[in-house]
Homo-oligomer: A and B are copies of this chain.
Amino acid sequence: MTTAAPVPSSRDLPHPTRGEIRLEGVLHALSDPVRLRIVRELAAEGVALSCSHFDLPVTKSTTTHHFRVLRESGVIRQIYEGTAKMNALRRDDLDGLFPGMLDSLLTAAARQAGRHGEP
């Protein structure tokens, strides 16, 4: 194998195109506490993260479900990388469609998290 080529593994997953992303779907995806937490962490890290990186209060089956909801609503992009599945925020698409919305939602989530419990 060569060195740096990010060879994408075989199987790939269905994603909505930018034009297919619906505001209602995005809001629904973010209205679940587990998913909102995932998105907050993705935004905070700024890079793609594997599913197993997250320490969520649900089983693996349920985790898979939540990541699928996020993907199908257009919030994240998922690609296989070896045995891991990497998840990245679709920032470009969301910012292109709804300028400023994602950031104000993330800010709102951070404020709420700050008010209650964890900083």
Which A residues have a C-beta under 8 Å from some C-beta of B?
Answer: 22-25, 27-28, 30-33, 36, 97-101, 104-105, 107-109, 111-112
Contacts and interface: CB of A to CB of B under 8 A. Distances in A.
Contact of A104 (B25, B31, B98): B98
B28 A24 contact: no
13 contacts: A23-B109, A24-B36, A25-B31, A27-B27, A27-B28, A27-B31, A27-B105, A28-B31, A97-B108, A100-B107, A101-B105, A101-B107, A101-B108
Contacts of A109: 23
Given A28-B28, A101-B107, 4 more contacts: A27-B31, A98-B104, A98-B111, A99-B104
A18 to B, nearest CB: 11
Count of this chain's copies in the oligomeric assembly:
2
Interface of A is mostly: helix
A33 B97 CA distance: 18
A28 B29 CA distance: 9
Contacts of A98: 104, 107-108, 111-112
